[in-house]
Amino acid sequence: MNKVIPDLKQAIADIQDGATIMMGGFGPCGIPENLIQALCDQGTRQLTVISNNAGTEDLGIGLLLRNHQVKKMIVSDVGQNRTFEELVRHGKLQIEFCPQGTLAERIRAGGAGLGGFYTPTGFGTIAAENKEARAWNGRHYVLELPLRAHFAFIKARKGDPFGNLMYRATARNFNPVMATAADVTIAEVEELVETGSLNPDEIHTPGIYVRRVVPGAHNAKPPRAEPEVRK
């Protein structure tokens, strides 16, 4: 089965206003930049985006935020994006903060079909407000519910027409787990290779989880962001 869609616009054409989208990456590492840019160009709005981070003002999800296309974010780290801060301060963006490990496990639970899980992370803090809590062996746990999405945008170093994917080093990050937790997973690949050319031991995401494969038109290597020092 050939899942390759060479045209980015065609690959995302059925994403409508109000969709929930998971977007892989960690900072600038392993982000589906071409798919995000195509979504910016399409102008789809009222999106709920699930991601580890909010990108920067000029990179990744930050482009969608700058275009006011995002209604809500479920996110862990937003420290490098002033646009995100301004939108929240002016009531133009809903946010649900989630500890990074909990976010990853909620997505994994969604992909595995689990009803939720208990974690000690966040107990006794605002992260546990209005959530069920239980105690075992003298330790308290908070119930966290699974996350799923209509679409997942993920980025891989290599992919074949069937959708088998290989990631490079830390660019793996949230991409593999998000690939399992969406109704439609769209994989952006830096290099499209022939079916059967990937070593089975190197395949991190089996093609069964991937609906569409898109060759990346542009793969930037952004400079490392230095932490901002505010005075």
Using H for helix, E for strand and C for coil, what is the string for the chain?
Answer: CCCECCCHHHHCCCCCCCCEEEECCECCECCCHHHHHHHHHHCCCCEEEECCECCECCECHHHHHHCCCEEEEEECECCCCHHHHHHHHCCCCEEEECCHHHHHHHHHHHHHCCCCEEECCCCCCHHHCCCCEEEECCEEEEEECCCCEEEEEEEEEEECCCCCEECCHHHHCCHHHHHCCEEEEEEEEEEECCCCCCCHHHCCECHHHCCEEEECCCCCCCCCCCCCCCC
Note whether residue 223 is domain-resident. no
CATH number of the domain bearing residue 150: 3.40.1080.10
Note whether residue 202 is domain-resident. yes
Note whether residue 1 is domain-resident. no
Per-residue pLDDT of the chain (231 residues; tens, 9 = 90+): 899 999 999 999 999 999 999 999 998 899 999 999 999 999 999 999 999 999 888 899 999 999 999 999 999 988 778 999 999 999 999 999 999 999 999 999 999 999 999 999 999 998 899 999 999 999 999 999 999 999 999 999 999 999 999 999 999 999 999 999 999 999 999 999 999 999 999 999 999 999 999 998 767 665 555 555 555
Note whether residue 171 is domain-resident. yes
Q: For 176-228, how does the pLDDT look when each residue is reduced to its tens digit (9 = 90+)?
A: 999 999 999 999 999 999 999 999 999 999 999 999 999 987 676 655 555 55
Range of the domain at 170: 8-215
Instruction: Determine the pLDDT at residue 6.
Output: 93
Number of domains, the chain: 1
Whether 201 contacts 166, CB under 8 Å: no
